Amino acid sequence: MKQYRITLDGRTFDVRVLSDPRQYEVEVEVNGTPLTVQVEVGASSEPGPEEEALPVGDPPPASKAAATLVKTVTAPLPGTIKSVAVQPDQPVATGEKLLVIEAMKMDNVIGAPRDGVIGAIHVSEGRQVVHGELLLEYRD
């Protein structure tokens, strides 16, 4: 787990990256508050000495367009499925809660990466998942 201290608009934040930062959505903790953020990789995938923090916040419009191509949702971290909030054939909006993964006694809400209709759900409550495991698929 990586930790960073970033300054944004004169405010300093302690950021812990809790899941794989190579994913589109990343679980982080900012000043003790768990969040799910979107990450856009810049021209260089290797951070240089001048780059101490990951970009946090809404992806630029190009990334939002790329998100519409997402057909599956995978586990951003290992844990236990605490709840599944959707059902097959249910329409969902971007950011809507799909399920909750409990990891290290913390609830991590997994939101929809795009608008669409839920297809297959591959997990159920109480099931252990590993990082990168397929959780659900979009129908369209």
Residues 31-90 have pLDDT tens digits of 878 777 776 655 444 444 444 443 444 444 544 444 446 788 999 889 999 999 999 999
Closest CA to 16 of 25, 24, 5, 7: 5
Predicted TM-score (pTM) of the model is: 0.54
**Given strand 72-74, what is the order of strands in its sheet?**
72-74, 134-138, 116-121, 91-92
121 shares a domain with 79: yes
48 falls within a domain: no
Domain membership flag for residue 128: yes
Is residue 66 in a domain?
yes
Domain co-membership, 66 together with 134: yes
Give residue 99's pLDDT: 94
- For 66, the enclosing helix (H) or strand (E) is helix 61-67
* 140, 117 contact by CB (below 8 A): yes
Q: How many domains does the chain have?
A: 2
Are 67 and 133 found together in one domain? yes
* Domain assignment present for 99: yes
Q: Roughly how many angstroms between the first and final C-alpha of the chain, as a whole number?
A: 35
Verify that 26 and 69 share a domain, yes or no: no
C-alpha count within 13 angstroms, C-beta hemisphere, residue 118:
23
Together in a domain, 16 and 75: no
Q: Give strand ranges (E) for 79-115.
A: 79-84, 91-92, 97-103, 106-111
